[in-house]
Amino acid sequence: MTQLIVNSPSASHVKPLIQAALDHEIRLLQMGIEKTKRRLRHFEELFKIETLNFYQAFQAGDMGDEVECMKWAGEYETLLQFEEDFAQIRGIQVC
């Protein structure tokens, strides 16, 4: 867990603002994760393959360079980044 220590004469006012900003960012990331997962399901239905299997083949150069494959890979990479950011921010404790 990451601790964010607020050292200020107005810490009692600043801490809730920081926590509210973190909570807002968490909500935005959750929405982004859900939206990205919906997009990935669309690609999975379209190509009849799970995203992880697709991405492994894509990384190996076995999926070609179609625009749709590029979009799919980009969506998956976006999901990975959102999930990483979510985990990091969710682990912050404001002290």
Condensed to tens digits (0 to 9), the pLDDT of residues 37-72 reads 999 999 999 999 999 999 999 999 999 889 999 999
**1 has a pLDDT exceeding 90:** no
**8 has a pLDDT exceeding 90:** no
Q: What are the contacts of 85-90 at 24+ separation with CB within 8 A?
A: 85/29, 86/26, 86/29, 86/30, 86/33, 88/2, 89/22, 89/25, 89/26, 89/29, 90/26
**11 has a pLDDT exceeding 90:** no
Which residues 6+ apart lie within 8 Å of 82 measured at CB? 29, 32, 33, 36
Q: What is the pLDDT of residue 6?
A: 87
CB 2 within 8 A of CB 93: yes
